[in-house]
């Protein structure tokens, strides 16, 4: 096996079509030679959520172009690659299939090794791509489709310590934004409104906070915001701007409280000395500050990779594929697309099926 590896990564499990080229020479920092991400927000905007059929069609139409662009930007050709890594699940099955078929076609035509990657492993291994961190470490994955604590002990050794039993936090941000008449994606919109709000005016429930363990629940919180909005509309004849800002601040504070307390427990349970976050919700300033403060208090290192690598991308897939490949991982033309694929085979599956596809 060559010491230096250059891999093409392909990602299409949700609403981002992505391709990237990553090179790694052992002992040196991995290089992201290119990372192309084609989002689909505009395609789904009118529907208030990701429409699987539209997503799958858009992936199928755009994958070739994304791969071409990634190769061109990296200044490489297919013949100079050492392998192709592709997300084989979990996710929306039509999208995952589009990526797997594209990767199989390229592998068959070039004879390059094909490596199927679990999308969640891509997120979980990102701190090694960006900061060469060593195992073990604790990862909190918080996005529109994921919410779980993972103890990462190896490229294929993950233990889930807990997660959301219903909505992912990003999903809750998006739904609350909709309830309050704010634009999508809800996270940034709520964060902006919350900046001028009073987080103490509306006490909101903190489900599962009083129960032991690291599981979380966010769907009751969304319903509580809805009830509060209806009460305000009934009492004041409408939702005033200041009240909306207060509700946003209260909601954001509550999510931060839940994530911070459960992170404290996950850190204690795992004994990890490094805590990494990933996913779009990790971009939230209040949440990030709370987690950072918690780590400072516990004398634990805190790592939040750059946002472009926290959210869905193909560089993380190329990297996770390379880690698997170095351990002898290979797939053939029988590689299957899996809508559900828990990283930790031993923990019970999480409930629910998020707005952005099946939760693992």
By CB under 6 A, name the binding residues for ligand KG4. 14, 143-145, 170, 173-174, 185-188, 191, 279-281, 283-284, 311-312, 356
Please write down the long-range contacts of 105-112, taking CB distance under 8 Å and 24 or more positions apart: 106/8, 106/67, 106/78, 107/333, 108/333, 109/78, 110/78, 110/79, 110/81, 112/78, 112/81, 112/82, 112/83, 112/84
Tell me the closest approach of the beta carbon of residue 334 to Zn ion, in angstroms: 25
311 binds, among Zn ion, ligand KG4, none (CB under 5 to 8 A by kind): ligand KG4
Strand order across the 274-278 sheet: 157-163, 147-154, 137-142, 274-278, 301-303
Tell me the closest approach of the beta carbon of residue 37 to Zn ion, in angstroms: 12
What is the bridge-based pairing of β-strands 353-354 and 357-358? antiparallel
89 binds, among Zn ion, ligand KG4, none (CB under 5 to 8 A by kind): none
Tell me the closest approach of the beta carbon of residue 249 to Zn ion, in angstroms: 27
Measured CA to CA, the distance from residue 6 to residue 80 in angstroms comes to 8
When asked if residue 312 is in the footprint of Zn ion (CB under 5 A), the reply is yes
Measured CA to CA, the distance from residue 316 to residue 18 in angstroms comes to 10
Tell me the closest approach of the beta carbon of residue 216 to Zn ion, in angstroms: 17
Tell me the closest approach of the beta carbon of residue 13 to ligand KG4, in angstroms: 9
174 binds, among ligand KG4, Zn ion, none (CB under 5 to 8 A by kind): ligand KG4
186 binds, among ligand KG4, Zn ion, none (CB under 5 to 8 A by kind): ligand KG4
356 binds, among Zn ion, ligand KG4, none (CB under 5 to 8 A by kind): ligand KG4
User: Which is closer to ligand KG4, CB of 191 or CB of 263?
Assistant: 191
User: Which is closer to ligand KG4, CB of 30 or CB of 145?
Assistant: 145
When asked if residue 15 is in the footprint of Zn ion (CB under 5 A), the reply is no
Helices (H), the chain: 41-44, 52-74, 93-110, 119-131, 169-179, 186-194, 219-236, 241-270, 285-298, 307-310, 315-326
State which residue has the least CB distance to Zn ion: 312
User: Is residue 105 within 8 Å of residue 333, measured between CB atoms?
Assistant: no
Q: Which of these ranges, 99-107, 150-158, 198-206, 307-315, lies near Zn ion under the rule CB under 5 A?
A: 307-315
Burial track 101-136 (b if 16+ CB lie within 10 A, e otherwise)? bbbbebbeebebbbbbbbbbbbbbbbbbbbeebeeb
Tell me the closest approach of the beta carbon of residue 312 to Zn ion, in angstroms: 5
Tell me the closest approach of the beta carbon of residue 309 to ligand KG4, in angstroms: 11
User: Which is closer to Zn ion, CB of 268 or CB of 308?
Assistant: 308
Q: Is 173 helix (H, G, I), strand (E, B) or coil?
A: helix
State which residue has the least CB distance to ligand KG4: 187
User: Is residue 105 within 8 Å of residue 353, measured between CB atoms?
Assistant: no
User: Which is closer to Zn ion, CB of 174 or CB of 312?
Assistant: 312
User: Which is closer to Zn ion, CB of 249 or CB of 320?
Assistant: 320
Interacting residue ranges for Zn ion, rule: CB under 5 A = 312
């Amino acid at each position: 096996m060559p010491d230096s590896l250059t891999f093409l990564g392909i990602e299409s499990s949700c609403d981002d079509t992505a391709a990237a080229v990553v090179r790694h020479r052992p002992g040196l920092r991995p290089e992201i030679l290119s990372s192309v991400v084609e989002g689909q927000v505009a395609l789904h905007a009118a529907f208030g959520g990701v429409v699987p059929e539209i997503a799958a069609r858009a992936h199928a139409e755009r994958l070739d172009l994304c791969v071409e662009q990634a190769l061109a930007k990296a200044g490489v050709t297919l013949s100079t690659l050492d392998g192709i890594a592709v997300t084989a699940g979990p996710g929306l099955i039509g999208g995952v299939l589009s990526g797997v078929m594209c990767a199989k076609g390229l592998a068959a035509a070039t004879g390059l090794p094909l490596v199927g990657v679990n999308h969640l492993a891509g997120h979980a291994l990102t701190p090694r791509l960006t900061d060469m961190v060593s195992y073990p470490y604790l990862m909190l994955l918080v996005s529109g489709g994921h919410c779980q604590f993972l103890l990462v002990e190896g490229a294929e050794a993950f233990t889930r310590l807990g997660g959301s039993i219903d909505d992912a936090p990003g999903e809750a941000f998006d739904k609350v934004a909709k309830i309050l008449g704010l634009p999508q994606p809800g996270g940034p919109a709520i964060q902006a409104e919350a900046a001028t709000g009073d987080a103490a005016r509306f006490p909101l429930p903190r489900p599962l906070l009083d129960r032991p363990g690291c599981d979380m629940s966010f769907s009751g919180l969304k319903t509580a915001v809805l009830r509060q909005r209806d009460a305000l509309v009934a009492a004041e004849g409408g939702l005033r701007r200041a009240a909306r800002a207060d509700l946003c601040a209260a909601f954001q504070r509550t999510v931060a409280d839940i994530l911070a307390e459960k992170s404290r427990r996950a850190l204690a349970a795992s004994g990890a000395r490094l805590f990494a976050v990933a996913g779009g919700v990790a971009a939230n300033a209040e949440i990030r500050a709370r987690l950072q403060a918690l780590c400072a208090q516990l004398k634990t290192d805190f790592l939040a990779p750059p946002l472009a690598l926290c959210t869905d991308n193909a560089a993380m897939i190329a990297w996770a594929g390379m880690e698997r490949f170095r351990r002898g991982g290979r797939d053939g033309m029988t590689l299957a697309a899996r809508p559900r694929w828990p990283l930790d085979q031993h923990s019970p599956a999480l409930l629910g099926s998020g707005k952005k596809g099946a939760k693992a």
